[in-house]
Structure 1
Amino acid sequence: MIDNSSRVPDSLLSRRICQMVKLDPDAPAVFFDGQTFTWSFYADAVADLASLLAAYPGARRVGIVLRNRPGPIAALIATLGTGREVVTLSPHLGDIGLEQDILDLAPDVIVAEDADWARAAVLGSSEMVGAIALRTGADRGLAAQPVSWSPRPSLRDPGDVAVLMMTSGTTGRPKRVELTYDRMTAAFRAAGLVFDDAHEPHLRGRTDILWASVAHISGLYFAVAHVVEGRTIALLEKFEVVAWTELVRRHRPGYVRLPPTALRMVLQAGVDTETFDSVRAVGSGTAPLPPELMDEFEARYGIPVLGNYGATEFAGAIAGWTLKDKKQWGPRKRGSVGRAHHGIELRIVDGETGSVLLPGETGLLEARGGQLPGADGAWLRTTDLATIDDEGFLFIRGRADEAINRGGFKIPPSVIEDALAAHPAVDEVSAVALPDPRLGQVPVAAVTLLSPATEEELMEYLTSRLTRYQRPVAIKVVDQMPRTPSLKISRALVREHYFDGDTQHEAVEVPETSPGDTAMTGEPS
């Protein structure tokens, strides 16, 4: 048994957070829904969490129902500021999924707003795991919820874990990955942030806009970065063109983040060019950036779009464009996601032999660096097919797996298939991707039945089992599944036989947890 009763990691990131939130207590830190929250809001949250948990030094793992609201973000900052481990809990999960997450992860502490504590799944599961329950909100710091908690011996080594986060499922079923304090620090440094005990911290004047879900790596990364860098943020609960453009006009940021889905929405909404008067560059990540979309946006607004490449497992982006590279290489490297960030090495290998390929040859991408998981110096193999040219520019050619990329969220077909297969009337399931003009891809599913069930009933069945973006836009009941010679269901034939020509879908919209940018922080260099 490991005794973690008194150990709280003393990381550079935690020290930086505690420094930044105390620099100017009355300066604005967050603008949200017509309200201004000063840096003292964060400082109070750090102090509140330390005080509330002083009697429970073993309570290190803090589950937070992470909405894009000041209270949950303050809880995130407080957890990292006190050297504890954040367990991300998505408010967009159905009750069954959220309850299972809490039961599986057994956080020592759960933090949520009143609306989420009203959900039986949150309150009931927190009682079952014996968690300390804390309320948060815009009108308070952190307050104890009257739920009993009995200190229990922990078998977990407290180690250096900062965030236990769910991946989006690019390489298979979504899984939890550990992001350590050291790796998060390395990710910030790779993106150009300099902070250590030798540099005097200070607040910056410009305001950034944060709308990417903090329950996912993009939003969480930038929520923490805004504190580390000392920038004010204007916060949105999700991306909406009108609300976002109003914030751009009001706060005049120098750099904004728009993944391909949001770029397309801005273009389709006909946002005027004056809105972008202050913007020097637009960062775009989370999903492949079609060159034609980039060209259209740049032609209309005269602003360079800087693509990037990253993943949850990487604690952010590991490659991207800079303004300098864009000016020098832009037209010649059209379609590239940029070059490796500082401290990151990239190479392309043969998927079968592992041999390193020459510039321009296509193979599996491997990476190594301080922000990547694994042993020091070890290469991490991805499932992305890619090439690297003579100047070091990375081009992503596709995926070696079958993940469906819906506006930046990666959905393994097995997630949909397993959820539908649990219905008592369902025999077999095959989920596939269809092209979509706005989101890139959307999921659909074909099912065979053991007993009668309508497609509407099956859709309703998924509402409490899958997030909104994981749910298929269409389900078709079919007589039989097409198969390969080895008798496996052929997804290609399912798409061809049952969904060929289906390019229009009802209610195809940006997922409620709109994807954000896994790129850089602050302004581009």
Structure 2
Amino acid sequence: MYPNLLKKRSSLTPNRVALRFNEQAWTFEQLYNEANEFAEKLHTKGIRSGMRIAILASSNPQLVIAIHGCMQLGCELVMLNERLTEEELNFQIQDSHTDYLLVDSLEKRSLAYSHKLSFEEINLAVQTTFKIEKDWFKNRTITIMYTSGTTGNPKGVRQSLENHVMNAMGSAVNLGIQPNDCWLCTVPLFHISGFSILMRSVVYGMTVNLHAKFDAEKAVEEIMSGTVTRMSVVAVTLERIISVLEARNLFFPNTFQSMLVGGGPVPLNYLERAIQRNIPVLQTYGMTETASQTTTLSSEDAIRKLGSAGKPLFFADVRIDGEEKIGEICIKGPHVTMGYVGAAELKNPLVDGWLHTGDIGYIDEEGYLFVVDRRSDLIISGGENIYPAEIEQSLVKHPAVKEAGVVGKHDDKWGQVPVAFVVLKEDVSEEELKAFMKTEMASYKQPVSYYFVEQLPRNASNKLMRRELFNCVQEMK
């Protein structure tokens, strides 16, 4: 058993600020009281402990209160991605066997679902008291989050109370907990990167400064003011923050402790530029099935092991599957999911206790993990393995290139060859990029074609959607 997280935190530090949004602030006691009020109103509407509740809403305080309210009531939360199409949302609602759907406004959400309630409807309801549990079973399912679905239908991943708590504890052991810690949250709360920040908040007693969405200018202003100490980003948002600092010739203050960067390999060019701007970047590696981080680079190794995702957190273990140095990354620990829901429910995610991630990487002689790429994104050309992320990292070294995405296309002679989609900072020709890449890597790795685009397709967590790039290549035939 673990304690009821928000109830326990509210009793320990009732007057500490839990949440800030724009000019508003909530203490842990206020957040607990408002969450309980919301839970009592849900109870009035017929929602009971053990029900599965899907939530479709923007990141704001009402969503935070709804999340904690559902947890107080003992419900399982299906966190829906705002950016999905109606067809994709309907699949997840049906696949998860959702009992009720909560939305931030009926006008905004037109999903045809009979058991649908808006936050406004719930807030207008009367309160019906129920017994709030002091302790929770550690294997209780807290959230269900669907994988990105970049290679077919997404799977609904169960994340237990133990998964969330042990992930938060592992992160705390790695980062340390400071009395003035405040996490700037610009990542969506429906994604594990955002939800895990809420979990750390109640476990650590830490303030969360919540933004509705990522804005590089606003993020820089808040960090420069000294009000926040930590932030989670992905490679593309890190680059946007760096660009703002470079344009203004600014350097992060020493009050800022760590910038956790996940969501895939980070170009070394970004990391080198970040160091120049005094950004303490800690590259991390994790996934929906591991309730966020599994490995994180410690601050003292940030420069010495540039490009590494670090060592496993205290309660996690990582190994490489395969006879070669580079192979599939496998993970074990109390933060790893025990299973899926819906169509994938019969699929056991573990093999002899290990989660096979589908990611490719290697562990160096000192035990540091380096993530190379997704196994499904591997390009095999003339029998040679080509990792798109390696090519992307080289491309962004060119001063005219802002972002790059690489995929393979069919070739009668070689089987597959790489092609590149490029977002530019300034004009550059395809010939110039080809000449540059000749100095960067072997000829068989170099893109045979370049497509200049305004932006790259990304999902809600800003991960590159290579499948869409591959579809573009297919359409160009």
Q: What's the TM-score, normalizing by structure 2?
A: 0.71
Query: Conserved in 2, the CA contact under 8 Å of 1:212 and 1:239?
Result: yes
Partner of 1:19: 8
Residue 211 of structure 1 deviates from its aligned partner by 0.4
Structure 1 residue corresponding to 2:204, chosen from 220, 225, 229: 229
Say whether residues 1:111 and 2:102 are aligned partners: yes
Say whether residues 1:185 and 2:169 are aligned partners: no
Say whether residues 1:102 and 2:50 are aligned partners: no
Partner of 2:441: none
Say whether residues 1:86 and 2:77 are aligned partners: yes
Amino acid at match of 1:219: G
Query: Conserved in 1, the CA contact under 8 Å of 2:49 and 2:73?
Result: no
Partner of 2:61: 70
Q: d(CA) in 2 for partners of 1:302 and 1:203? A: 20
Partner of 1:315: 291
Residue 105 of structure 1 deviates from its aligned partner by 2.9
Query: Conserved in 2, the CA contact under 8 Å of 1:344 and 1:368?
Result: yes
Deviations 1:163-190 (A, max 9, x none): 1101124665422111111222221122
Residue 261 of structure 1 deviates from its aligned partner by 1.0
Deviations 1:231-258 (A, max 9, x none): 2222112211111122223343233333
Say whether residues 1:53 and 2:46 are aligned partners: no
Partner of 2:384: none
Q: d(CA) in 2 for partners of 1:203 and 1:36? A: 20
Partner of 2:313: 341
Q: d(CA) in 2 for partners of 1:342 and 1:61? A: 32
Q: d(CA) in 1 for partners of 2:178 and 2:257? A: 21
Deviations 1:265-313 (A, max 9, x none): 1222224435434213322111211222211210x22343211111111
Amino acid at match of 1:217: I
Deviations 1:46-68 (A, max 9, x none): 34314532655356211111421
Query: Conserved in 1, the CA contact under 8 Å of 2:20 and 2:208?
Result: yes
Residue 209 of structure 1 deviates from its aligned partner by 0.7
Aligned residue-pair number: 393
**Per the alignment, do residues 227 and 142 of structure 1 end up closer, same or farther by CA in structure 2, a change over 3 Å counting?**
farther
Residue 162 of structure 1 deviates from its aligned partner by 1.1
**Per the alignment, do residues 232 and 403 of structure 1 end up closer, same or farther by CA in structure 2, a change over 3 Å counting?**
farther
Larger relative contact order (CA 8 Å, sep ≥ 6): 1
Structure 1 residue corresponding to 2:214, chosen from 239, 242, 251: 239
Residue 220 of structure 1 deviates from its aligned partner by 1.2
Q: d(CA) in 2 for partners of 1:373 and 1:349? A: 19
SS for the counterpart of 1:258 is strand
Partner of 1:385: 360
Q: d(CA) in 1 for partners of 2:378 and 2:5? A: 37
Amino acid at match of 2:321: V
Q: d(CA) in 2 for partners of 1:203 and 1:309? A: 23
**Per the alignment, do residues 513 and 291 of structure 1 end up closer, same or farther by CA in structure 2, a change over 3 Å counting?**
closer
**Per the alignment, do residues 265 and 42 of structure 1 end up closer, same or farther by CA in structure 2, a change over 3 Å counting?**
same
Amino acid at match of 1:43: N
The unaligned stretches of length 5 or more in structure 1 are: 1-10, 146-157, 195-201, 405-434, 445-480, 517-525
Structure 2 residue corresponding to 1:43, chosen from 33, 39, 50: 33
Query: Conserved in 1, the CA contact under 8 Å of 2:9 and 2:202?
Result: yes
Q: d(CA) in 1 for partners of 2:154 and 2:231? A: 28
> Equivalent pairs: percent with the same residue?
21
Partner of 1:370: 334
Deviates more, 1:44-53 or 1:66-75: 44-53
Please give the root-mean-square deviation of Cα atoms over the aligned residues, in Å: 3.7
